[in-house]
Amino acid sequence: MKQLIYLTGLFTLLFLSVKTSNNEKINPETTVKSSMVTTSNKAEFQDIVAKNAIIKKIGTGYSFTEGPASNSKGIVYFTDQPNDRIYRWDENEGVSLWLEGTNRANGMYINRNNQLFACADLHNQIVHIDEDKTIHTLFETFQGKHLNGPNDLWIAPNGGIYFTDPYYHRNYWQEGHTEQQDTRGVYYLSPDKKITRIANDYKQPNGLVGTPDGKTLYVADINDRKIWKYDIESDGTLTNKTFFAPNGSDGMTIDERGNIYLTMGKIWVYSPNGELIREIEVPESPSNLCFGGKDKKTLFITARTSVYTLSMNVKGVD
C-alpha cells in the first residue's frame, strides 16, 4: 500500500511539473520541449522528428513573423510584415536584418535558381527581390482591377507561380481602399506571364504548397477549415479537386516523404494519404514554416512575435 501511495504521489508530481513547463514564459535563450502527439501507430510515421528534439526560440521581439523561404544553402529568409522587414537566418550566424522597406512582403518563396519572390500587399503585387535588394513587380492587376492582397505563393518546377489572393484589410492602405475582385481566388502566373484564375470557390484561400515533381497542389481554405488537393495539368490548370484534410492552415510546407505540414494553432502533419500523423505544439501560434539548415533537416517556424527551430529526421524539398 505504501508503494502504491508513493507511486501515485510521484505520478501527480510529474503531471503537475509537465503542465507547468508547457505554460511557462520563456526568453530567447531558453529551449522548450515540444508537446508532440503521434496519432498513427505506423512506425514509418513516428520518426519524422529527431530523437530528443527540442523547440528552440532563435529570435523574438518581432510584431508578426511570416513567409519563411529557404535557399539552396539552407539560409532562411522571413518577414516581419507590420514592420516592413525581411530577416535572414543562417544556422551558424543566427538572425540578421536583410531588407527594410519590402512593399509589405508576406508569403515568400525561393525558386530553384535561388531567386526570391514575395507576395507584397502594400500595392497588392507579386514581386521578385533580386540580389541587390531591388524590388521588381511581376503582377498586380486582374481584369483591370487590383488584387485583394496576395498572401502566399508556390513556384512550380517550370517556373510558374501559384498564389492565393484572400482579403485581409490593412491599416497601411490608403483611405478608401476596397476589395475589388469578385472572389477570393487562387491564381496561376505562367512562365510567359499569362495569368489565370484557377479557383474561385474559396471562403478565404491562404497557404498552398506543391510537390517537387510539379504534379500536385495543396491549397488551404483557412476560414472553411479545409485543405484541398489538386492535380496540376501540363498547362498549369488544376483538376480533380479532392478533400485532403479537415484543417485550415496559414503557411504550409512539405517534406521528402510527401508529408504536408499545416499551421493552425499548432503544427499538424498529414501523410500524402491524408492521415494525421503528428501534432507539434509551439510556444506561440505558428503562422508558417519551411525546412532550412545546410542539410534541410531543420524545421524553421514563424510564430507571431518569434521564430523557432526543430531538428527533424526528414528533409525538406525544393
Residue 272 banded pLDDT, cuts 50, 70, 90: very high
Domains of the chain: 2-311 (2.120.10.30)
Residue 111 banded pLDDT, cuts 50, 70, 90: very high
Contact 290, 267 (CB under 8 A): no
Q: What are the residues facing 116 on neighbouring strands?
A: 110, 129
Q: What are the residues facing 187 on neighbouring strands?
A: 163, 197
Residue 192 reports pLDDT greater than 90: yes
Contact 50, 313 (CB under 8 A): yes
Mean per-residue pLDDT of the chain: 89
Q: What is the pLDDT of residue 265?
A: 98
DSSP the chain: -HHHHHHHHHHHHHHHHHHHHHH----TT-EE---EE-----GGGTTSBPTT--EEEEEE--S-EEEEEE-TT--EEEEEGGGTEEEEEETTTEEEEEEE--SSEEEEEE-TT--EEEEETTTTEEEEE-TT--EEEEE-EETTEE-S----EEE-TTS-EEEE------TTSPTT----SSS--EEEE-TT--EEEEE---SSEEEEEE-TTS-EEEEEETTTTEEEEEEEPTTS-EEEEEEEES---SSEEEBTT--EEEEESEEEEE-TTS-EEEEE--SS---EEEEESTTS-EEEEEETTEEEEEEBSS-B--
Contact 95, 307 (CB under 8 A): yes
Region 71-75 average pLDDT: 97
Contact 277, 260 (CB under 8 A): no
Residue in the block written with cell 517550370:
158
Please report, for residues 124, 170, 172, the alpha-carbon distance to residue 176 in angstroms, rounded to integers and kept in the order given: 15, 11, 11
The answer for residues whose C-beta is within 8 angstroms of residue 27's C-beta and 6 or more apart is: 57
Residue 160 reports pLDDT greater than 60: yes
Position 267, amino acid: I
Region 280-286 average pLDDT: 98
Q: Is 317 exposed, middle or buried (0-12, 13-18, 19+ CB in 10 A)?
A: middle
Region 144-148 average pLDDT: 97
Q: What pTM was computed for the model?
A: 0.88
C-alpha span between 236 and 193 (Å, rounded) = 12
Residue 271 banded pLDDT, cuts 50, 70, 90: very high
Position 191, amino acid: P
C-alpha span between 66 and 209 (Å, rounded) = 15
Q: What is the pLDDT of residue 47?
A: 87
Q: Of 20, 305, 318, give the one whose Cα is nearest residue 155.
A: 318
Residue 55 banded pLDDT, cuts 50, 70, 90: very high
**CA 128 centroid distance within chain:** 19
pLDDT tens by residue, 5-40: 334 443 333 333 333 233 233 344 444 444 444 445
pLDDT tens by residue, 217-226: 999 999 999 9
Region 301-311 average pLDDT: 98
